[in-house]
Amino acid sequence: MGFKKLFWQFYFSFLLITVIVSVALTILSSRLLTNSFINETQKALETEAKFVSQAISQDIIDAKLSRVEQFCKQIGNNSDTRVTVIEPSGKVIGDSQRNPILMGNHSNRPEIISVKRNKIGIETRYSQTLDQPMMYIAIGLYKDKKLISIIRTSKSLTTIDMTLGGLRRAIIKYSLIIVIISAFLSLIITRRINRPLEEIISGLDNFAQGNFDQSLTIPHTKDLAKLSIAMNNMASELDVRIHDILNQKNEMQAILTSMSEGVIALDSSGNILNINAAACVMLSIDDCNNPISTKDEIPNTVLREFIDHSLKDSMSVDTELDILDEPRKNLRVRCNPLINSHNQMIGTIVVLNDITILRQLERVRSEFVANVSHELKTPITSIMGFIETLRDGVIENPDQAQHFMEIIARQARRLNSIIEDILILSKIEDQSNQNKIDTQIGSIKSSIDSAIEVCQIRAAKKNIKIITAENDIEAPINEFLLEQAIVNLLSNAIKYSDENKTVEILLASDSKYATISVIDHGYGIGAEHLERIFERFYVVDKARSRNLGGTGLGLAIVKHIAQAHKGFVSIESELAKGSVFTIHIPLSLE
């Protein structure tokens, strides 16, 4: 659909009105002049007819027809009016322009018939005698109320038309001049009216583009001034409201971005209105800057069905989902309907909580309780069994009693080791979680040497040589805890190495960490166990570990000591070739 400019609509409207009025006035004035001219002509002809009747009335009464003819000719010479005198019978007795003898009987002429009916005869018709259109006026001449003659005056309509034509041309000429002047004036007036409208339209375009700084100019026209003032007020109000909306949007976006929960807002058709970064991470959406736009693009089928159910039933629902992608996740999902002011559902809000760590902690706790129960039950059951055996009379046999007592003592020591390791691990975790671990810049080499002294006797029993680093590095450490971690690693290296082997301790650093590596050449660990080797009570070979006096908590203690120092622990191992355990300690606390 094409749109016309308001300027041209105004201009052509004004011009069309002017043209219509001018044409109407031209036609009306032409008709009025024509009617007026004809009426004046009729009156003039009637006056002349009456004058002639008075002048020749006595001659007609006296039957002096020659004088009547002569009078008619005299009038014809002095005027453009034709005068004809006719008897009641229709015979022409005098005419100013023709010979009466040659003229036919006029009794059937309409104007003659009207006079015979005591009326003034008025007729306009084409004259066969003069071969031109004529206007006729006929009146009766009476004597004693008896019609004795008819006086007819006439004038050529050609003359009238020529006169009227000149007048019409003059009217048309001046009408055209008026139209041209009106067109020019309409252009000026239209521009004057349209200019403030164009300024208002230009200002509104700026408003539509969000530029509310420039106010509309106030025109001098009262109505347009009111419009401009109203528009300026509207722009100010819009500016305030848009800023409020943008601030609210930014605040909401900041809140959504900072939330650890994933949030997805959808309309009633399932189109995604907003999705925060946490939801993108939870749903493994790679490009958070260009997120999905509809629920059908959500990767998880179960979640899509859950959202469909919420949109369909318009109710709050929640569930837990297992995301089987790598890494696996456990999500708690809750859908709450969005209700407008008319209590109509317009969408839904999906809130995602990543409870993977919670579920892992629950699983670890469950496994920890099960492992503690199992590890404690074994020595306790053994102790109780041998005590019952002693009570049954074996105690009276000194050799067997001594043997059973040694077993009970060994199991008691194992039970005590487990309890001590659990207490140590609990204490380290508590200090680490509350940031209560005391650290100060100290020598890592000193902690290594202290740990070697503790393990030297065990190593000597298996003729294992401990090769230590000669260099030293200083870092913020807790010497007691770091010594405990190195002791645990050395003890494991000695336990799981054959006799006459070597254990090496390397000390190095990079730009961020100091690294303490304990290298053994023992049995090694299979790749399938490396991921869980630092879990509580996780052992590769339970029978061997129990025989060697292991509790399954030593490496877990090492991991938590490293984490308490804001560091971490790593492992490299290969079956039958040995293992490398490395503690990474930050060089600074920043």
Q: What is the pLDDT of residue 406?
A: 81
The pLDDT of residue 542 is above 60: no
Burial 418-434 (b: 16+ CB within 10 A, else e): beebbebbeebeebbee
Joined together, the tokens standing for residue 561 give: 């000591």
Summarised one tens digit per residue, pLDDT across range 391-424 is 777 677 777 778 778 877 877 776 777 677 677 7
Higher pLDDT: 375 or 445? It is 445
Joined together, the tokens standing for residue 380 give: 């306790």
The pLDDT of residue 166 is above 50: yes
Distances in Å between the Cα of 384 and the Cα atoms of 371, 404, 408, 412 are: 20, 11, 9, 11
In CATH terms, is domain 260-354 a member of 3.30.450.20? Answer: yes
- Rounded to whole angstroms, the Cα distance separating 214 from 210 reads 11
Mean pLDDT of the residues in the chain: 80
Side chain identity at residue 561, one-letter code:
I
The pLDDT of residue 65 is above 70: yes
Residues 6+ apart with CB under 8 A from 439: 476, 477, 478, 565, 589
Strands lying side by side in the sheet with 345-354: 272-275, 262-267, 345-354, 329-339, 317-323
Q: What is the pLDDT of residue 371?
A: 66
- Rounded to whole angstroms, the Cα distance separating 557 from 581 reads 13
The pLDDT of residue 543 is above 60: no
The pLDDT of residue 584 is above 90: yes
Side chain identity at residue 470, one-letter code:
E
Residue 585 confidence class, pLDDT cut points 50, 70, 90: very high
Q: What is the pLDDT of residue 571?
A: 93
Strand partners, 354: 331
- Rounded to whole angstroms, the Cα distance separating 295 from 450 reads 61
Q: What is the pLDDT of residue 1?
A: 44
Burial class (CB in 10 A: 0-12, 13-18, 19+), 84: buried
Class of CATH domain 7-163: alpha beta
Cα-trace Rg, the chain? 63
State percent of the chain over pLDDT 70. 89
Burial 13-49 (b: 16+ CB within 10 A, else e): ebbeebbeebeeebeeebeebeeeeeeebbeebbebb
Q: What is the pLDDT of residue 556?
A: 86
C-beta atoms surrounding 310 within 10 Å: 24
Average pLDDT, integer, range 107-136: 82
Residue 122 confidence class, pLDDT cut points 50, 70, 90: confident
Summarised one tens digit per residue, pLDDT across range 300-351 is 777 788 888 878 777 777 878 777 666 777 888 888 888 877 777 888 888 8
C-beta atoms surrounding 497 within 10 Å: 20
Domain 440-586, what architecture? 2-Layer Sandwich (3.30)
The pLDDT of residue 586 is above 80: yes
Q: What is the pLDDT of residue 130?
A: 67
Summarised one tens digit per residue, pLDDT across range 185-236 is 877 777 777 777 777 777 777 777 777 777 777 777 777 788 788 888 888 8
- Rounded to whole angstroms, the Cα distance separating 418 from 422 reads 6
Residue 475 confidence class, pLDDT cut points 50, 70, 90: very high
Whether the model clears a pTM of 0.75, i.e. scores above it, the answer is no
C-beta atoms surrounding 145 within 10 Å: 6
Look at residues 78, 59, 62 and name the one whose alpha carbon lies nearest to residue 151: 59
Higher pLDDT: 251 or 221? It is 251
Average pLDDT, integer, range 368-375: 67
Q: What is the pLDDT of residue 520?
A: 94
Side chain identity at residue 384, one-letter code:
M
In CATH terms, is domain 360-433 a member of 3.40.50.620? Answer: no
The number of helix segments (H) and strand segments (E) in the chain equals 13, 17
The pLDDT of residue 173 is above 90: no
Average pLDDT, integer, range 169-193: 80
In order, the DSSP letters of 238-288 are: HHHHHHHHHHHHHHHHHHHHH-SSEEEEEETTSBEEEE-HHHHHHTT-S-T
Average pLDDT, integer, range 505-517: 93
Look at residues 65, 67, 66, 100 and name the one whose alpha carbon lies nearest to residue 82: 100
User: Cα 427 to the chain's mean position, in Å?
Assistant: 56
- Rounded to whole angstroms, the Cα distance separating 304 from 202 reads 48
Higher pLDDT: 76 or 576? It is 576
Q: What is the pLDDT of residue 218?
A: 79
Residue 358 confidence class, pLDDT cut points 50, 70, 90: confident
The pLDDT of residue 9 is above 80: no
- Rounded to whole angstroms, the Cα distance separating 209 from 235 reads 11
- Rounded to whole angstroms, the Cα distance separating 20 from 170 reads 18
SS3 content of the chain, % helix, strand, coil (to 5): 55, 20, 25
Average pLDDT, integer, range 53-61: 77
For Cα atoms 258, 262, 268, give the angle at the middle one, nearest 5 degrees.
120
Select, from the ranges 64-73, 105-114, 155-164, 210-219, the one with the highest average predicted confidence (pLDDT).
Answer: 105-114
Summarised one tens digit per residue, pLDDT across range 414-457 is 677 767 767 776 777 766 665 667 888 999 999 999 889 988 98
User: Cα 77 to the chain's mean position, in Å?
Assistant: 97
Q: What is the pLDDT of residue 432?
A: 62
Average pLDDT, integer, range 33-56: 82
Average pLDDT, integer, range 469-498: 89
